[in-house]
Amino acid sequence: MPPTTTLNPPPPTVRNGPLARFLAHPATWWADLGQHLARIAHAVLPVAATVAVVLAVLVALVVLVRVLARYRSTSTGQLVEVDVPPAVDPKGAVSFWRNLHPVLAARHHLLAAPHSVAFEVTSSANGIGLRIWVPPSLSAHAVARAVSSAWPGSRCRIEPNRPSVLRGRTVTCGELRLASPSWLPLRTDHDADPLRTILGALFTGDESDEGALQVVVAPAGARATRSIGRAARFLHTGRPMALVPRLLAAWQTTPQRPSSPDPMRSADVRHVVQKASDLPSFEIALRYGLSSASTDRHTRRRLRSRAHELTATFGVYAGRNHLIARHSRGCRRRLEHRAITYGQVLGLSEVAALAHLPWDAAIPGLVHASAAMVGPPSGVLAERAGSQNFEEDDDALF
């Protein structure tokens, strides 16, 4: 009987993949990975460093160009001096800012920032004056026509920009900012003119004192407008709006407990939706300044006391949100340059409530417009011309 031969089974095949090599020889795998990364870094790092430096230089040049253009535009420009008509329509401010928004949002080139105008109320010994600063890139005559269209009977004078807003030697300046997040609105439904108490605190009648209230207005960007709508959705669903609480909530494995209904949250959702629908949106900077020609300690204390009194009058806008005073370094420079550094997003009705012509005729020191000259109707001129032609024909016949 021939001997039987037994065949040994073939050895198992080992896959030559990254995971197999790592499990078989981990030390060699780590060494090969380090060598590969070193070769890639040696080839890529010089090019990446050059590209990063070029991008950083380009970003710095863009920022520098925009900053210089903003400060150059605020140092020049024109002033539209506005005389208040005898009867002011309270709804004229809404029409004015709605018509002015597309003019401010238009850009001539990519590097240009959105245009901004400054609505200013000045107080001096001559009384209270209102003016609108217009940058050189916009037409002051167009702004004057918009004022005349929104408030019939007002008179506008276009003058060159003055070197300074406040000319006193002792100056107290400050900013008014929103106390709560910007998606909560201010109060806009006022039975009386909200500027009555503010202008009463701004005007004193002293020859050496001056005051200024400045509202710099620019169109809000798309990101700021979307943030208000996103806040409304987060409040409606009860999810956190901050980044860190949202990440922590996403990593939780246990199901969350159903949140109890909060009546204040539903009210906040209603307010946020109302502000999100109050379009177009604007970005503003609200500042005030008081100055005096004297430099003694008593004058400085008096100006600080007047500043506290002036900021307290802005409590008339307190609603779901309110304004608080902030005193920071460089506030006078920003007041003179009319720049928006840390803007706040407001709706159309909120801007109209802050920056409008006073519609209360009992405000002391307010300069009103005189009666405008009105030409005769066209029919009267036509009848007069026809009578003159008839008389000339009669003389020719006789």
Mind listing the pLDDT tens digit for each residue in 119-139? 999 888 788 889 999 988 888
pLDDT for 214 beyond 90? yes
Choose which CATH entry (3.40.462, 3.40.1350, 1.10.3470, 2.60.40) describes domain 78-240+268-354: 3.40.462
User: 161-196, pLDDT tens digit by residue?
Assistant: 887 888 878 888 999 999 888 888 899 888 888 888
- How far, in Å, CA of 180 to CA of 117, rounded? 25
Contact 121, 200 (CB under 8 A): no
Compare 103 and 383 and report the one with higher pLDDT: 103
What is the predicted pLDDT for the residue at 297? 87
Supply the pLDDT for residue 69: 60
Q: What is the mean pLDDT of the chain?
A: 79
Domain ranges of the chain: 35-75, 78-240+268-354
What does the pLDDT read at residue 231? 76
For residue 49, give the DSSP letter.
H
* pLDDT at position 295 over 70: yes
Element (H, E) at 285: strand 282-292
Q: pLDDT band at residue 398, thresholds of 50, 70 and 90? A: very low
- Which segments of the chain does DSSP mark as H helices, in order? 18-24, 26-75, 92-105, 140-150, 195-202, 222-237, 243-251, 263-276, 297-312, 331-337, 348-354, 378-397
Higher per-residue pLDDT: 344 or 229: 344
Question: What is the pTM (predicted TM-score) of this model?
Answer: 0.73
Q: Which amino acid, 272?
A: V
